[in-house]
Structure 1
């Protein structure tokens, strides 16, 4: 009888411990230029992805700044991405580099920071 009682107490503690555990959602960061910046608007792609995922399992963040080129993202990487400890990073950049390279020759070659 004591064994059954002890087993019941042990199971009760296990159930309490399991239910009090908090599960941290996976953090996804969208990192980029103006396309990513607009992605967090009401009907933007970041917002639509966020709405389609279970918020208890995923935390979706946007880190886009209009006009940024590859070098700008390189400079922001620590603060806007790495310090937030993401599980997944989606990088969407390059349009400004191509455009600036062709128009004013100030863009960055795509492979410079690989």
Structure 2
């Protein structure tokens, strides 16, 4: 092999390596190219897991609730004071995707967040298991898609984050584990697919909780199979920050 050919191959390998490093890769936060501006609005949407007992007034001692959204806001606020992020929590206990839709304008679009994080699905799963109309997996997907489409149309620059709904075998969830697992796993797959469709960051909470449950009993992380213990909220906050890469 002559020197020129060897140099060409070395250069080609170098270019390929750089291309792989810079190429967007779903699920690999280190390769994402979005950047939030100073003073960015970060909004958390969802059900009771996000709600976290938040206040409905301007009392900043309680306005973020006491769950993962609070932990994320606390940590990023402390570590990045120069960014002056503004955090909002609009989670509402018991909410399903249709519930989100009914308040989407006031609680999401009017706030015009720079980053919108959504976690929803466990109540939709419970509603389907109770045979309530309008809560099939297909409805979950189509209704969720409508919300995301509306958001992208009206707020095209907003970075989306989709959290995976999750459960662990504790309490009534454990008693009826096979049915719960079967129903929610379908929504987990749909949430992941929607994240790909809308170029959203996907946070695979279920895998992280499954891994954690190998280190300590499931009830150590999620007290009733749905709602996290303090350690579970800390897990969520850490994995969210890792995935979103702020």
Q: TM-score, normalised by structure 1?
A: 0.71
Distance 1:82 1:99, change over 3 A: same
- Consecutive unaligned residues in structure 1, runs of 5 or more: 1-22
CA distance in 2, matches of 1:25, 1:37: 23
Q: After superposition, give the CA deviation of every residue in 1:2-48 in whole Å (9 maximum; x if it has no partner).
A: xxxxxxxxxxxxxxxxxxxxx85110100111111017333x10111
8 Å Cα contact 1:25-1:56 kept in structure 2: no
Instruction: Determine which structure has greater relative contact order: mean sequence separation of CA pairs < 8 Å that are 6+ residues apart, divided by chain length.
Output: 1
1:27-42 aligned within 5 A = 27-38=41-52, 40-42=64-66
Structure with greater strand share of residues: 1
Structure with greater helix share of residues: 2
- Consecutive unaligned residues in structure 2, runs of 5 or more: 1-36, 54-63, 146-246
Q: Hey, what does 2:100 align to over in structure 1?
A: 73
Question: Would you identify which runs of 4 or more consecutive aligned residues in structure 1 move more than 3 Å?
Answer: none
Moved more, 45-54 or 103-112: 103-112
1:1-114 aligned within 5 A = 25-38=39-52, 40-42=64-66, 44-53=67-76, 54-57=80-83, 58-106=85-133, 107-108=135-136, 109-113=139-143, 114=145
Q: TM-score, normalised by structure 2?
A: 0.34
Distance 1:30 1:87, change over 3 A: same
8 Å Cα contact 1:25-1:55 kept in structure 2: no
CA distance in 2, matches of 1:92, 1:55: 26
Number of aligned residues: 91
Aligned-CA RMSD value: 1.9
Q: Hey, what does 1:12 align to over in structure 2?
A: none
